[in-house]
Structure 1
Amino acid sequence: MSNPYLCPNCKTNRSRFNLIQQVATPVKMDAKNGAIIEQYEENNAGPLHMTYRGPELRVQCATCGLIEEERMFIKRAQQQ
């Protein structure tokens, strides 16, 4: 379902946005040099590795540059 957006910062932009897809890649890194030692499958990272729980989509206002979760832009549009 589509929802209208309104930027909560500049409060004028209703039509120009950048949609940012967030894709988490679980990895194990070398603590000394930062090299990736191991790249895990999404459901097989092990008991000491918390899975990513953030939003899959973020929105950037193409007028003022604000980047927030999609729900912030939707809620602002609903208030108007």
Structure 2
Amino acid sequence: MSTPYACPNCRTNRSRFNIIQQVPQSVKLDPQTGDIVEEYTAENLSPFHMGYKGPDYRIQCAACGLIDEERTFAKFGEMK
């Protein structure tokens, strides 16, 4: 995260961002009530439950509110 960012939407913000940590919680829900029936860890996922493979962080522009992956903001930050 020691890379300059720039917002690809508003194109003016290069300094104000929110870093959002994504912490996945693997669960099995009751289809009728929506209650959590079972919680899984990375070690005990059932064969039918695929683990989370998304990014650990997402970035939000604090000027316009756009939320996207860190690499998108980093790529625009490389452009001068």
The answer to whether the superposition gives a TM-score over 0.5 is yes
Q: Which residue of 2 aligns with 1:71?
A: 71
- TM-score, normalisation: structure 2: 0.96
Query: Using the alignment, how far apart are the partners of 2:34 and 2:13 within structure 1?
Result: 40
Task: Give unpaired runs (5+ residues) of structure 1.
Answer: none
Does structure 1 residue 11 correspond to structure 2 residue 11? yes
Alignment RMSD, CA only?
A: 0.9
Q: Which residue of 2 aligns with 1:55?
A: 55
- TM-score, normalisation: structure 1: 0.96
Percent of aligned pairs sharing the same letter: 57
Deviation string for 1:15-70 (max 9, x for gaps)? 10000000001001000010000111122111100000000100000000000000
- Structure 1 segments of 4 or more deviating over 2 A? none
Query: Using the alignment, how far apart are the partners of 2:5 and 2:77 within structure 1?
Result: 5
Query: Using the alignment, how far apart are the partners of 2:62 and 2:43 within structure 1?
Result: 35
Task: Give unpaired runs (5+ residues) of structure 2.
Answer: none
Q: Which residue of 1 aligns with 2:46?
A: 46
